[in-house]
Chains A and B, each alone.
Chain A
Amino acid sequence: MSALQWLLALIVVAFERLTRRRSRQGENGGGKQGGGSDGGESGRIVPAGTPQRSAENFVLAFLAVATMFAAGFIAVYTVFGAHLMPNELLGICMGGALLCIGGALTVVAKRLVVTEEIEDDYPEPHPKEQEEVLQIVHESGSRITRKRLLLGAGGVTGTALGLAALTTVASLGPIWDTGPLDYTPWRRGRRLVDEAGHPLLAADISHETFYTAFPEGADPEQIGSPLVVVRLDPWLLRLPPGRANWAPDGIVAYSKICTHAGCAVALYRKPLEPLLEPSPALVCPCHYSTFDPYNGAKVIFGPAGRPLPQLPLMIDAAGGLRAAGNYSGRVGPAWWNVRESPT
């Protein structure tokens, strides 16, 4: 702490000498006074004020502390390695330095600079110049006889050029062909695999949880790929007509991408006490669209407008799960003309 006081004293003394010399210069050379337009009787523009040495000391103190904070930042950065870097200390040093400079400037603003209140007229409109602008425009076109035709032609050309420039946007993506939006890699016979690529066996699917499955050999990141697979009680299934064979042994598979806004349907509500708690449900954590897996993933809560598309399953000779066809509807978030069956 005494080091800080010494530093402060040194700075104060040095600054005093400096200001004394400056003020002497000012007295020597301050004879002439130029004309200031908003000045008072003395010809000054900025009115005179009384010196405030205590305020200057405050400014100096703030600057000294800011300097120390800055030095502290360098010290912390140098002393600690990247893995042990105390982010808090760095923040305190940098923030402290900046706040102290802010403090110094506030003292300058409140106590050191001359406080004055000046006034002026708000700007008025310029009717004369407005008229002249209009006049210039009109007079400049005096040789043109078919003004409307020319302006119209210019407009058409401009639009054409704009459209020409806009067509290049089409290169950004397959915008004329929205087919990729409907694409899914599922085909009859395609094996269901887990995240590591191991085939999913029907015997592995237990009751209390849900599984994420992917088409074997396809890009798992495509919206059409990921499935949520759950085992249900077959006698409780109420699948829509025509899907009688889609859930062998009560195992159902739905697209894992929410039909509302495209998040993953990552929550499975599986009641431990089915009589007391709400029915099993697949839930999207983004906006809580909730789907009934027993009933073809019908929307039972939340904003989604249509059910999760179901993938028909079959069990092969080795007990592995395979797709028995493609989804029952388009996958992913809804868009214009989305309800047709997938390609």
Chain B
Amino acid sequence: MSLLGGHGRNGGRSDPLRDPIRFIDERTSAAPLARKGLRYIFPDHWSFLLGEVALYAFIVLVVTGIYLALFYDDSTAKVVYHGSYAPLDGQTMSAAYRSVVNISLSYQAGLLMRQTHHWAADVFVASIVVHLMRVFFTGAFRRPRELTWLVGLGLLTIALLEGYLGYSLVDDLLSGMGLAIGYGVGLSIPIIGGPAMLAIFGAPFPGNSLFFSRMYIMHVLLLPMAIATMIGIHLALIAARHHTQFKEGKRTTERRIVGAPMFPAQVPRSVGLMFFTAGILFLLGGLVQINPIWQWGPFEPWIGTNGAQPDWYLGWLIGALRLMPSFDVVVGHFTLIPNPFWGGVAFPGVVFTLLGAWPWLERRFTGDARVHNIADRPRDAPNRTAFGVALLSWVFMIFLFGAADRILVLWSLGYNTQLNMFRVAIWVVPAALFFIVRRWCRSLRAADKVEEDREQAEKEAAAHAAKVHATVERARRLSDPQLK
């Protein structure tokens, strides 16, 4: 029981683990793999846990999602609500919306599960984004980890779509407005937009009766399976090439990895993080209201409400749609590119393409095609850090404009004023930040260099002093008649 008490190895025949281990190894030949896996090395840095938070949020999503699926009805057939929530009593709504109202207000623990699920989705995407930023700014995407980077970007894309489908299934007023926008953006894709939307919705918006069951199977089966598979590939790729590590001391090099073993060090740490993540998500689900769907009422295509906001991770697209000046690309009486295409398709397309191509772009700019196992500090690559900050600020400011109507309510800053401000700022601020951050990185590096030089000089001076001292001592000894 060395794990629990440090009382020494238990080598006796009575060890209760011996037989199970033998049983499994004989049947799976897995002992060498387990032996290796238990001592798999994790370099120790807090930022390496961000991806794990995403993984554990996904587990919470699966568990709470399975519970919700047991109560959800994907039918859009019209029903009349007679439930525990009086303000909606007698209202005509879809069976889907009624089932979600019932999950929220009529089943014990239903609201906890639904709110925890929603919070987990928000945290899932947030931790992926923060993890992506960590990987970007430390250069951890470089050779030999480009595939891990691409799979991660794919995961983010699917996570966004999965979240969008999740809150669209509720069929309340907000989800209907979101679906209408999704339909409008989809239609705007040149040539294939119309046919593709007809195929997905089964009919022009709001679609035929099959549309919700198509969304449902996507949300609860196809996309979660895709996410799980891609997480598996992501982790397998990491395991194959190991983590990057920061340069700490002499032992961490490009060829030697230093850290704590999977077992016993990493397992309780990581599983503990899983419980913390789940615990905080359930606390949020219990204490902090999110999307009170019974307040919005059912959706009809002719209803809309002011002040509607999507989940945070789609805010950047709303911002882009709102920022675009009024125009369709038209030739005579022939529309080529309708307006929502720019904000809803081209903008995220540019961001993801830039991110996906970045490992190769950077290789071209720097000419550095070497294998990197040591992670950079952001200052070590001023151009990359500056580019990352610029891209991030671009996306963030467009995201911020998505909440311009809220800013108007909060700070009475006119919508028109904001529109004009942001239309300039989204170009000026990233450009300015690029140069400021690059300069800052360079000066930090220069300061590091000064410090290194000083240490080096001190070392040399000390060595020199010691040498002088030794020479003087020898000379003194030689000249000392008594010692002769």
**Which residues in A have some Cβ–Cβ distance to B below 8 Å?**
19, 22-23, 25-34, 38, 44-46, 48-51, 56, 77, 80-83, 85, 87-92, 94-106, 108-109, 112-123, 169-170, 172-176, 178, 180-181, 183, 212, 214, 220-223, 225-226, 256-258, 260-267, 284-289, 299, 301-306, 332-340
Contacting B335 at CB < 8 Å: which of A27, A113, A335? A335
Does A122 lie within 8 Å of B254, measured CB to CB? yes
> How many pairs of residues, A versus B, come closer than 8 Å at their CB atoms?
361
B370 vs chain A, min Cβ distance (A): 13
Q: Which residues of B contact A222 (CB under 8 A)?
A: 204, 301
B373 vs chain A, min Cβ distance (A): 5
Does B108 lie within 8 Å of A305, measured CB to CB? no
Q: A29-B13, A50-B6 are in contact. Are A121 and B340 (CB under 8 A)?
A: no
Contacting B5 at CB < 8 Å: which of A23, A266, A285, A339? A23
8 contacts between A and B (CB under 8 A): A29-B14, A77-B109, A113-B264, A173-B201, A261-B344, A288-B405, A335-B197, A336-B193
Contacting B1 at CB < 8 Å: which of A23, A33, A102? A23
In the complex, whether B115 has a CB less than 8 A from a CB of chain A is yes
Docked pose: A156 CA to B321 CA in angstroms:
41
Contacting B12 at CB < 8 Å: which of A28, A223, A256? A28
Q: Which residues of A contact B334 (CB under 8 A)?
A: 337, 339
Q: Which residues of A contact B255 (CB under 8 A)?
A: 121-122
Q: A119-B257, A333-B184 are in contact. Are A287 and B11 (CB under 8 A)?
A: no
In the complex, whether B338 has a CB less than 8 A from a CB of chain A is yes
Does A286 lie within 8 Å of B286, measured CB to CB? no
Q: A87-B111, A172-B200 are in contact. Are A109 and B6 (CB under 8 A)?
A: no
User: A95-B284, A121-B255, A220-B302 known; 7 other A-B pairs, CB under 8 Å?
Assistant: A19-B7, A29-B13, A95-B280, A109-B265, A262-B181, A333-B184, A335-B187
- Stretch in contact with the other chain, from B148-156, B324-332, B353-361, B459-467: B324-332
Q: Which residues of A contact B107 (CB under 8 A)?
A: 82
Q: A26-B8, A105-B275, A121-B257 are in contact. Are A265 and B282 (CB under 8 A)?
A: no
Mark B257-298 against chain A: 1 for CB-CB distance below 8 A, else 0. 111110011001101111110111111111100000000000
In the complex, whether B51 has a CB less than 8 A from a CB of chain A is no
Does A26 lie within 8 Å of B287, measured CB to CB? no
A47 vs chain B, min Cβ distance (A): 10
Q: Which residues of A contact B378 (CB under 8 A)?
A: none
Docked pose: A29 CA to B14 CA in angstroms:
8
Does A26 lie within 8 Å of B304, measured CB to CB? no
Contacting A96 at CB < 8 Å: which of B6, B9, B84, B279? B279
Docked pose: A70 CA to B268 CA in angstroms:
21
In the complex, whether B68 has a CB less than 8 A from a CB of chain A is no
Docked pose: A94 CA to B304 CA in angstroms:
37
Does B328 lie within 8 Å of A174, measured CB to CB? no
Docked pose: A228 CA to B281 CA in angstroms:
43
Docked pose: A82 CA to B256 CA in angstroms:
58
B201 vs chain A, min Cβ distance (A): 7
Does A119 lie within 8 Å of B111, measured CB to CB? no
Mark B193-221 against chain A: 1 for CB-CB distance below 8 A, else 0. 11111111111111010000000000000
A95 vs chain B, min Cβ distance (A): 3
In the complex, whether B123 has a CB less than 8 A from a CB of chain A is no
In the complex, whether B350 has a CB less than 8 A from a CB of chain A is no
Does B181 lie within 8 Å of A263, measured CB to CB? yes
Contact size range, B:
35 or more
A14 vs chain B, min Cβ distance (A): 14
Q: Which residues of B contact A334 (CB under 8 A)?
A: 187-188, 328, 335, 338-340
Q: Which residues of B contact A267 (CB under 8 A)?
A: 304, 306
Docked pose: A96 CA to B287 CA in angstroms:
12
Does B203 lie within 8 Å of A118, measured CB to CB? no
**Which residues in B have some Cβ–Cβ distance to A below 8 Å?**
1-15, 39, 41, 84, 105-109, 111-112, 115-116, 177, 180-181, 183-185, 187-188, 190-191, 193-206, 208, 240-242, 251, 254-261, 264-265, 268-269, 271-276, 278-287, 300-308, 318, 321-328, 330, 333-336, 338-340, 343-344, 373, 405, 415-416
B214 vs chain A, min Cβ distance (A): 8
Query: Secondary structure at chain A's binding surface: helix, strand, loop or mixed?
Result: loop
Contacting B279 at CB < 8 Å: which of A30, A102, A265? A102
Does B283 lie within 8 Å of A91, measured CB to CB? yes
Q: A119-B258, A220-B302 are in contact. Are A91 and B282 (CB under 8 A)?
A: yes
Which residue of chain A has its CB nearest to the CB of B85?
A: A83
Residue from the set A82, A104, A335 with the largest chain B CB neighbour count within 10 Å: A335
A135 vs chain B, min Cβ distance (A): 23
Contacting A180 at CB < 8 Å: which of B108, B203, B327? B203
Contacting B41 at CB < 8 Å: which of A22, A109, A118? A118
Which residue of chain A has its CB nearest to the CB of B325?
A: A303
Q: Which residues of B contact A29 (CB under 8 A)?
A: 10-15
A166 vs chain B, min Cβ distance (A): 11
Contacting A303 at CB < 8 Å: which of B307, B308, B321? B321
Which residue of chain A has its CB nearest to the CB of B264?
A: A113
A340 vs chain B, min Cβ distance (A): 6
Q: A30-B9, A113-B268, A117-B258 are in contact. Are A338 and B324 (CB under 8 A)?
A: no
Does A305 lie within 8 Å of B328, measured CB to CB? yes
Docked pose: A50 CA to B405 CA in angstroms:
61
A262 vs chain B, min Cβ distance (A): 4
Which residue of chain B has its CB nearest to the CB of A108?
A: B268
Q: A261-B185, A336-B335 are in contact. Are A98 and B282 (CB under 8 A)?
A: yes
Does B181 lie within 8 Å of A335, measured CB to CB? no
Docked pose: A3 CA to B205 CA in angstroms:
62
Q: Which residues of A contact B15 (CB under 8 A)?
A: 29
Does A285 lie within 8 Å of B305, measured CB to CB? yes
A17 vs chain B, min Cβ distance (A): 13
Which residue of chain B has its CB nearest to the CB of A180?
A: B204
Residue from the set A80, A120, A339 with the largest chain B CB neighbour count within 10 Å: A120
Q: Which residues of A contact B269 (CB under 8 A)?
A: 105-106, 109
Q: A112-B4, A173-B198 are in contact. Are A266 and B279 (CB under 8 A)?
A: no
Contacting A333 at CB < 8 Å: which of B261, B340, B415? B340
A102 vs chain B, min Cβ distance (A): 3
Which residue of chain A has its CB nearest to the CB of B192?
A: A336
B118 vs chain A, min Cβ distance (A): 13
Q: Which residues of A contact B283 (CB under 8 A)?
A: 91-92, 95-96, 99
A299 vs chain B, min Cβ distance (A): 5
Does A87 lie within 8 Å of B256, measured CB to CB? no
Which residue of chain B has its CB nearest to the CB of A330?
A: B335
Docked pose: A29 CA to B415 CA in angstroms:
78
Does A169 lie within 8 Å of B199, measured CB to CB? yes
Which residue of chain A has its CB nearest to the CB of B207?
A: A173
Docked pose: A113 CA to B4 CA in angstroms:
7
Q: A30-B8, A85-B111 are in contact. Are A48 and B265 (CB under 8 A)?
A: no
Docked pose: A222 CA to B235 CA in angstroms:
46
Docked pose: A306 CA to B181 CA in angstroms:
16
A86 vs chain B, min Cβ distance (A): 9
Which residue of chain B has its CB nearest to the CB of A170?
A: B199
Docked pose: A181 CA to B181 CA in angstroms:
16
B207 vs chain A, min Cβ distance (A): 9
Which residue of chain A has its CB nearest to the CB of B210?
A: A172
Does A94 lie within 8 Å of B327, measured CB to CB? no
Docked pose: A47 CA to B13 CA in angstroms:
22
Docked pose: A220 CA to B78 CA in angstroms:
13
Q: Which residues of A contact B306 (CB under 8 A)?
A: 266-267, 285
Docked pose: A223 CA to B201 CA in angstroms:
13
Contacting B286 at CB < 8 Å: which of A46, A92, A119, A221? A92
